[in-house]
Structure 1
Amino acid sequence: MKTKMARNLPTQIVISLGNQIVSGQVAPGSVITSDVLEAQFGVSRTVVREALKVLHDKGLTRARTKTGTIVLERHEWNLLDPDVISWLQASGLGRELVRDLEEVRASYEPWVARIAAKRRGSKDISVLTNSLKKMTDAFYQEGPQSEAIGEADAAFHQALLDATQNELMKRIGKLFIPLLKIRDDMVRHVVDDGDFLIQHQAVLDAIVEEDADLAEAAMKVLLSQAIQASTDARKKSPR
């Protein structure tokens, strides 16, 4: 996953320190001073200040008067920030977040499907159908390792959120989309059949028929299989 930030000087410092903090190279409790960063990166104090502000906003660090900047514990990081997620993935620690994601999805996404079946419009059906078609075409034309599958899958689940017509649900669900992409990247290496396409089709069919009970049940089946695929992926690559 590529960082969302532009590659200016403060950003280069953010990316470097962010990766070091998330990977554990710079441990929680470590103190970072502006003087050291200025010398290390050959930049001005203004540039360092801008970079540290970004790290503060991501929950990785906190300024301490007369001390410097302290690196925070993981539980204080913004784990839904796209860049933090990217750094976790690069360090091999994104799998722990994927496990947490699967548990959260199991509790809310069946309800998303249920509401979507009740409120979806023709445009929602069109977007869902198009996303599933892209998923299917990528699988059969490029194979199960295609990155396009993950992109289409994320679009499908985003369309489900949109179909609920519930602004809070859409905002909450959107937070998990970056994690869903990591999950898809991870399971591409262990999934070689097209069962997930059948499961997505079952969800879509239920929503088209406005059958809320069936949509909820179909989503539970889809998520159950997704959890199994993630578990298998972690076993094959435990890093």
Structure 2
Amino acid sequence: MNRLGRQIVEGEVAMGSILNLEELSARFAVSRSVLREALRVLQSLGMVEPRQRVGTQVRPREEWDLMSPQLIAWRGHGAEYFVQMRELLELRLGLEPVAARLSATKLDPAGAEAVRRAAETMVTSSAAGDGRAYLEADIAFHTAILRGSGNAVVAHFASTVDALLRTRTEERRFTITEYTPASAHRHNELARALVERDPDAAYRWSYELIEATLAEFVSEAPPR
């Protein structure tokens, strides 16, 4: 499933093509029943569709579930890394400042403490050059804010952000860069606004944080 999914994402298996199940079964050395299970997962992601008297067809990218953590992982491990990062950062720019504003009044004490602790870890791990600790704290930080918004739909977006941030392990420079100290500072100021229950400051710092990250990735993206 992972190999075929990534091949479709990378364009090695063309959109609109009909999958030859006999050939796939032989290539991956799996039974037809195992192959059908893998195709069912790809179908649930909108990537393939069984068509009567035609076969299993690869669907257009516009029909894929691009918010799925599985698809985010596949896109993030290939040539679409920077494209996907830009696309989802643009989406986060519209959503997460609103979530931060909501969380400033709705976060319970445990949630506020989780945000504060994660921001503190980001500052210390940035100074220590510990990319793994920084990444895990970053995920915990944004997850706590999204889930603390009091909005179930917004909270559901946390799994998308988690998957997106984890694709940074594929980046040649990983997580700690020349941008990291300033980013850690913005996270810390956002945490302060949330702990102090200041919705306007929370919105402002969240917007500034994601806007700066978006600008970073746009500037670092290779030429098309």
In the superposition, the TM-score normalised over structure 2's length comes to 0.89
Gap change, CA 1:38 and 1:225, over 3 Å in 2 = closer
Report what 1:141 is aligned to.
128
Shift of 1:172: 3.2
Report what 1:81 is aligned to.
68
Structure 1 position 194 matched with structure 2 position 181: yes
Shift of 1:185: 6.1
Alignment match of 1:31 (pick from 18, 24, 38): 18
Kept in 2, the 8 Å contact 1:206–1:215? The answer is yes
User: How far apart, in 2, do the equivalents of 1:191 and 1:126 lie?
Assistant: 28
Unaligned runs of 5+ in 1: 1-13
Kept in 1, the 8 Å contact 2:115–2:145? The answer is yes
Q: Give the 4+ runs in structure 1 shifted more than 4 A.
A: 183-187
Gap change, CA 1:84 and 1:169, over 3 Å in 2 = closer
Number of aligned residues: 222
Matches within 5 A, 1:104-123: 104-123=91-110
SS at match of 2:110: helix
Unaligned runs of 5+ in 2: none
Matches within 5 A, 1:91-106: 91-106=78-93
Kept in 2, the 8 Å contact 1:190–1:229? The answer is no
Structure 1 position 182 matched with structure 2 position 181: no
Shift of 1:148: 2.4
Gap change, CA 1:19 and 1:174, over 3 Å in 2 = closer
Structure 1 position 151 matched with structure 2 position 151: no
Report what 1:128 is aligned to.
115
Report what 1:171 is aligned to.
156
User: How far apart, in 1, do the equivalents of 2:72 and 2:208 lie?
Assistant: 27
Shift of 1:162: 2.3
User: How far apart, in 2, do the equivalents of 1:78 and 1:23 lie?
Assistant: 16
1:176-219 Cα offsets, whole Å, 9 max, x none, are 32123336865736535511111111111111111111111121
Shift of 1:93: 0.6
In the superposition, the TM-score normalised over structure 1's length comes to 0.84
Report what 1:57 is aligned to.
44
Kept in 1, the 8 Å contact 2:105–2:197? The answer is yes
Tell me how large the CA RMSD over aligned residues is. Answer: 2.1
Shift of 1:137: 2.3
